[in-house]
Amino acid sequence: MPSSQLPSIATFQRAVKLLKQGKLVVIPTETVYGLAADAFNPQALKKIFALKKRPYFDPLILHISDESQLKLMVQKIPPSAKKLIKAFWPGPLTLVLPAKENVPTIARANLPTVAVRMPQHPVAKHLLKQFGKPLAAPSANRFGRISPTSSQAVKKEFGIHTPLILEGGECLLGLESTIVHFLKNKPEILRLGSITMEQIENVLKQPVSLRKKTVLKQPLASGQLPQHYAPKKPLTLLPFHWRQKPPSFKKSDALLLFRKPLPYFPGQQIILSPQGSLQAAARKLYHSLRKLDESKARHLYAEIFPSRYLGITINDRLQKAAHN
């Protein structure tokens, strides 16, 4: 985004002041917008849960600006985590590591672990530097809804209750960070995200498993709940070869498609990337789902993506959005 649109020095100062007072600030990141508060102020963290209507069993991601802050919060960093840090930080990777006791229990839902990431967005980085301490920040949406990829989407989520927003333009990646945890030093993906499984395996030079379902009473990541990232309208998925035998659509239906439009379709359709770029489609996915959710359409249909690279993450989000 042009630097003239970046928040002014005065806006950054105001944000730091609010955070020090235990208030919330909306921050842009390269994945999605976050609802940030001082990670070490439990009263401030309660405000995140209240505004999002988020259950306390769902722990937060703590955002840092340099690795020295990580060492203050975690007991140890397994060698494979070190490799991932070197390859992907700053960037869309969240690591779940054994927490030191000083990490507030509300931030980690009483778990013995804490989720940490170092974002890459220049506005988030600058704010973190100015604030000097970690910021807890879940996606800036009501619990279970679609993550916001623009400041306008955040305003629509929270209306008059929207905290100060640091403008950062449209999010470059558009899908949340990939969450990896380490059980006895063995890496496992808890939530697929902007970094693909292949990218992680290439760095670690070993196969990495993906946790499909939680066996715990409490899900390890809220993205593991069957319904999440959901629009308000019913959403039906179109299986991979749906064009061979398309359903009989109505004018009041809307379609979310990867690269090719459906000729003669009477309703609204959004093509995510005519060039067939998975990155471009990922960037537009949540924005487009929101747009169709706000449109006059009554029923939404989304086409399943090719099951490779970011297509796997996109399908994961579509499946969770459609679970109703």
Counting contacts by CB under 6 A, is residue 96 touching ligand TXA?
yes
As a three-state string, the secondary structure of 151-203 is HHHHHHHHHHHCCEECCCCCCCCCCCCEEEEEECCEEEEEECCCCCHHHHHHH
Minimum distance from CB of 52 to Mg ion (Å)?
8
Closest to ligand TXA by CB, 29 or 267 = 29
Minimum distance from CB of 96 to ligand TXA (Å)?
4
Residues 6+ apart with CB under 8 A from 124: 27, 28, 29, 34, 63, 168
Is 313 within 8 Å of 282 (Cβ atoms)? yes
Q: Which of 29, 69, 139, 196 binds Mg ion (CB under 5 A)?
A: 139
Q: Which of 94, 150, 151, 313 binds ligand TXA (CB under 6 A)?
A: 94
Q: Which residue has the tokens 């989720």?
A: 115
d(CA 123, CA 136): 15
Structure tokens at 216: 């715990």
Counting contacts by CB under 6 A, is residue 69 touching ligand TXA?
no
Q: Which of 7, 91, 134, 138 binds ligand TXA (CB under 6 A)?
A: 138
Minimum distance from CB of 146 to ligand TXA (Å)?
11
Minimum distance from CB of 154 to Mg ion (Å)?
12
178-200 burial: b if 16+ Cβ within 10 Å, else e: bbbbbeeeebebbbbbbbbbebb
Q: Which of 6, 15, 18, 31 binds ligand TXA (CB under 6 A)?
A: 31
Binds 37: which of ligand TXA, Mg ion, none (CB < 5-8 Å by kind): none
Counting contacts by CB under 5 A, is residue 29 touching Mg ion?
no
Is 59 within 8 Å of 108 (Cβ atoms)? yes
Which range, of 17-25, 136-144, 263-271, 274-282, touches ligand TXA by CB under 6 A?
Answer: 136-144
Kindly list the strands in the beta sheet with 93-98, ordered across the sheet, starting from the edge strand earlier in the chain: 164-165, 25-27, 34-38, 135-136, 61-63, 113-117, 93-98, 178-183, 186-191, 209-210
Is 23 within 8 Å of 47 (Cβ atoms)? yes
Site size toward ligand TXA, by CB under 6 A: 29
Which range, of 81-89, 92-100, 286-294, 305-313, touches ligand TXA by CB under 6 A?
Answer: 92-100
Counting contacts by CB under 6 A, is residue 285 touching ligand TXA?
no
Residues making contact with Mg ion (CB under 5 A): 139
Residues making contact with ligand TXA (CB under 6 A): 29, 31-32, 34, 58-61, 92, 94, 96, 108, 111, 113-115, 117, 137-139, 176-177, 179, 181, 190, 220-223
